[in-house]
Each structure stands twice: as structure tokens, then as C-alpha cells.
Amino acid sequence: MDEEKVEKTEQTDDKSEKKEAKAQKSETKKLTAEIESLKEENKKLSGELESEKDKYLRMLAEYDNFRRRTKADRENIYADAYGEALGELLPIIDNIERAINFADSASFADGMKAIVGQVASAMEKLGVETFGNVGETFDPMLHNAVMHVDDENLGENVIADVFQKGYKKGDRIIRHAMVKVAN
């Protein structure tokens, strides 16, 4: 009987070991499949990471190029505007030099009036407006009052005389008008 028990116990142990071995094989297969799945996912994510790194580096290079182009454009715009302004003024300088050569002539005043007209035309082309005329209302934001005069013919805060015209481009004041104001 003891031998039967030992034999049954051995058979039960063999069955348990076989079950355990089967369970371990099954668990090993599951873990191996999971490892393979994770390796594939890791490979996929690594590829996506490399793709995103490449996109980032390209965008960074594009931004750097944009910044350099913008800087160059700003520098060129200033030079172009400066050249255009000087181009408008150079013929005026030439005419002033010619007028000086004929200072004794009777047509000197006519020549100077023509030059003043040419200056006004050049300023208009550049978008520069003049202000500060006699009879306008005094505005401390536009005019610089250097004298006051009591004049009953003019109203209060009216420009009586202009010593220097004011100039502006859009809302930007280039030079304030220097004026005499009536009290």
C-alpha cells in the first residue's frame, strides 16, 4: 500500500510538474509575444521621433533663413528710401547752384520761386505735408510759439506770422512750425 501511495504521489507530482511546465511555456510564449510587440512599438516610436526631429530641424533652419532675409530686407528698404529721397532733392540742389551763378540777373527771384515750387513738388512726392500758415488756429502739438502779439483783427490763438513752416509725414511730425501767435 505504501508503494501505491508513493506511486500515486509520484504520478500526481508528475502531473503537477507537467502542468507547471505547460503554464510556464504558455507564460513564456505570452511574454515573448509581448516583448516582440513592444519592440515593434519601440521601433515605430523611434521612427516617429526621428521624423519629428527632422521636421523640427528643418523648421529651425527655415526660421533662421527667414530672420536673415527679413534683416536684409529691412536694411535694403532704408537704403532704397534714403536713395529715393536724395534723388528727389538732387535736382533742387543743381538748380540752386545754377541760380547762384545768375545772382545778378533780374530773373533771380523767378528762379528762386521755381526752386521753391520744385522743393514743394518733391516733398509732395515723398508724402510730406506743410502746416503752420497765417490764420490757422494755434495747436501746441504742431506749432512752436516763439512770440505773442496783441492784434484785435485776429482772434485769440490764431497764427499771426510764420517764421518756419512745419512739416509732417502722416501722423509723424518732422519739424514743428515756428510761429507768432495773437492773444
pLDDT tens per residue across span 42-61: 999 999 999 999 999 999 99
Average pLDDT, the chain: 86
Cα–Cα distance for residue pair 125/127, rounded to 1 Å: 5
Query: What domains are defined for the chain?
Result: 130-183 (2.30.22.10)
In one-letter notation, the amino acid at residue 29 is K
Return the number of other C-beta atoms located less than 10 Å from residue 143's C-beta: 21
Q: What percent of the chain clears pLDDT 90, i.e. is strictly above it?
A: 45
Closest C-alpha among 134, 139, 148 to residue 168: 139
Q: At what angle do helices 108-125 and 2-101 cross, to 10 degrees?
A: 170
Q: Count how many Cα atoms sit within 13 Å of the Cα of residue 69 in the half-sphere of its side chain.
A: 6
Distance of CA 12 to the CA centre of its chain: 85
pLDDT tens per residue across span 69-126: 999 888 888 778 877 887 787 788 778 777 777 777 767 778 888 888 888 888 888 8
pLDDT for 33 beyond 80: yes
pLDDT for 13 beyond 80: no
Cα–Cα distance for residue pair 22/33, rounded to 1 Å: 16
Instruction: Please report the pLDDT score of residue 79 as a whole number.
Output: 74
Give residue 16's pLDDT band: very low, low, confident or very high (50, 70, 90). Answer: confident
SS3 labels along the chain: CHHHHHHHHHHHHHHHHHHHHHHHHHHHHHHHHHHHHHHHHHHHHHHHHHHHHHHHHHHHHHHHHHHHHHHHHHHHHHHHHHHHHHHHHHHHHHHHHHHHHCCCCCCHHHHHHHHHHHHHHHHHHCCEEEECCCCCECCCCCEEEEEEECCCCCCCCEEEEEEECEEEECCEEEECEEEEEEC
